[in-house]
């Protein structure tokens, strides 16, 4: 069998959720949207079922997948519903929903539901993506508060630059949120992963840890709390061929890399069809038998090449870790002009193997 696979450490996932909770007295949504950032939503949710206060997903399809897998905690739809026809399903499966635009408000007020919904009203405090303006927010809150279709109301917003603490933008957004919601009674939720890690004054009643659950830092600098996260995914494969090349020889498509010395080249069963970034530059770090090496040459669909010259003990069959323990995905992402979020979400074709202290299995 082809050796490429992603090893998912569910104990590390539980550690990261519990660590997020330890930073605050708040409750926390475990954000498992986009197939748990590529890690496997059902398996991750089941692993967190004894710990998580609630879960959060992007859309109803993701929520129904969790309900079918036996997840009973509240599940928040972060983008709400896309069509009014979803409202009966939201009622049936006891989902919570964000409301972030006027169309959703009107559909909710006009619906005949029978059972009222738990609604999280989104404030645009400065991200300017979705949500209601500060000027209209209180009026909409009061309108929904009077509706028989609303069981409870909570306020939420989203920080645009919580991972850049020196900019002042998060302080501005927090001040706006506090001013607008000061007289509104209900739970609050403001913090994504960088907010959880770096902005304790903004924690509110509910945290929304996402990328930090999977052990990747949202920061481009060393951060004390982020340093305590454990990587959940190990993307791994093996060396499947070794070439000895003299100086001056090109490697791979486009001849991007030219050997500067006699070079021992390892070929690895991993490529962009697996989700490894095609734009990874020469010098992108990898681990070979636990030792650091680097990519040389352009990443192909099914293979990539790396430098084994200074690793004489490594060769055919050597273990290769593309990211994970000892090599944070954020470092790899920086060499490919992207972010760890995209690396994880782009994972494709490679099987996932789940491990924990209680069991191990594959999908």
Give the pair of three-digit tokens for residue 246: 């003299």
Distance CA 80, CA 107 (A): 12
The domain ranges of the chain are 10-213, 233-362
pLDDT band at 357 (very low <50, low <70, confident <90, very high): confident
**pLDDT digit string, tens, across residues 258-311:** 999 999 999 999 999 999 999 999 999 999 999 999 999 999 999 999 999 999
pLDDT at 360 (0 to 100)? 62
pLDDT at 359 (0 to 100)? 66
pLDDT at 362 (0 to 100)? 66
Catalytic residue flag (residue 253): yes
**pLDDT digit string, tens, across residues 163-182:** 999 999 999 999 999 999 99
Residue 50 contacts by C-beta under 8 Å, 6 or more apart in sequence? none
Catalytic residue flag (residue 137): no
Candidate list 33, 37, 214, 341, residue with the active-site label: 33
Tell whether residue 298 is among the known ligand binding residues.
Answer: no
Give the pair of three-digit tokens for residue 175: 């001040």
- What's the chain's average pLDDT? 97
**pLDDT digit string, tens, across residues 139-152:** 999 999 999 999 99
Relative to beta strand 319-323, strand 5-9 is unpaired
Tell whether residue 129 is among the known ligand binding residues.
Answer: yes
**Burial class of residue 185 (count of CB atoms within 10 Å of its CB; 0-12, 13-18, 19+):** exposed
Percentage of residues in the chain having pLDDT higher than 90:
98
Distance CA 176, CA 226 (A): 27
Mean pLDDT over residues 354-359, rounded? 86
Mean pLDDT over residues 79-87, rounded? 98
Distance CA 286, CA 103 (A): 48
pLDDT > 90? residue 69 = yes
Chosen CATH of 10-213 out of 3.20.20.10, 3.40.640.10, 3.30.565.10, 3.30.360.10: 3.20.20.10
Find the angle CA(48)-CA(51)-CA(55) to the nearest 5 degrees: 60
**pLDDT digit string, tens, across residues 87-142:** 999 999 999 999 999 999 999 999 999 899 999 999 999 999 999 999 999 999 99
Topology annotation, domain 233-362: Lyase, Ornithine Decarboxylase; Chain A, domain 1 (2.40.37)
pLDDT at 358 (0 to 100)? 76
**pLDDT digit string, tens, across residues 310-325:** 999 999 999 999 999 9
* In contact, 23 and 200? CB cutoff 8 Å: yes
């Amino acid at each position: 069998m082809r050796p490429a696979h992603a090893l998912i450490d569910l104990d590390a996932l539980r550690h990261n959720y519990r660590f997020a909770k330890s930073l605050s007295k708040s409750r926390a949504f475990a954000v498992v949207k986009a197939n748990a950032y590529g890690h496997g939503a059902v398996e991750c949710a089941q692993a967190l079922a004894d710990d998580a206060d609630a879960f959060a997903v992007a859309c109803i399809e993701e929520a129904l997948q969790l309900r079918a897998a036996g997840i009973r905690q509240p599940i928040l739809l972060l983008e709400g519903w896309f069509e009014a026809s979803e409202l009966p399903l939201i009622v049936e499966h006891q989902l919570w929903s964000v409301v972030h635009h006027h169309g959703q408000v009107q559909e909710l007020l006009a619906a005949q539901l029978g059972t009222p919904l738990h609604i999280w009203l989104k404030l645009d405090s400065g991200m300017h993506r979705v949500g209601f303006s500060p000027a209209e927010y209180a009026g909409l809150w009061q309108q929904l508060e009077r509706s028989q279709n609303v069981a409870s109301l909570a306020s939420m917003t989203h920080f645009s630059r919580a991972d850049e603490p020196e900019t002042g933008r998060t302080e501005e957004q927090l001040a706006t949120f506090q001013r607008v919601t000061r007289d509104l009674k209900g739970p609050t939720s403001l913090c994504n992963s960088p907010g959880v890690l770096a902005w304790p004054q903004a924690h509110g009643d509910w945290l929304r840890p996402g990328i930090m659950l999977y052990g990747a830092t949202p920061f481009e600098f060393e951060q004390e709390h982020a340093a305590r996260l454990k990587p959940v995914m190990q993307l791994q494969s093996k060396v499947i061929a070794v070439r000895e090349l003299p100086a001056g020889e090109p490697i791979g498509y486009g001849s991007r890399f030219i050997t500067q010395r006699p070079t021992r080249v390892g070929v690895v069963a991993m490529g962009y069809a697996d989700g490894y970034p095609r734009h990874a530059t020469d010098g992108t770090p990898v681990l070979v038998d636990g030792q650091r090496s680097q990519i040389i040459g352009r990443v192909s669909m099914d293979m990539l090449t790396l430098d084994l010259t200074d690793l004489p003990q490594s060769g055919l069959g050597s273990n290769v870790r593309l990211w994970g323990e000892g090599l944070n995905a954020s470092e790899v992402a920086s060499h490919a002009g992207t972010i760890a979020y995209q690396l994880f979400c782009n994972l494709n074709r490679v099987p996932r193997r789940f491990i924990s202290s209680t069991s191990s299995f594959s999908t």
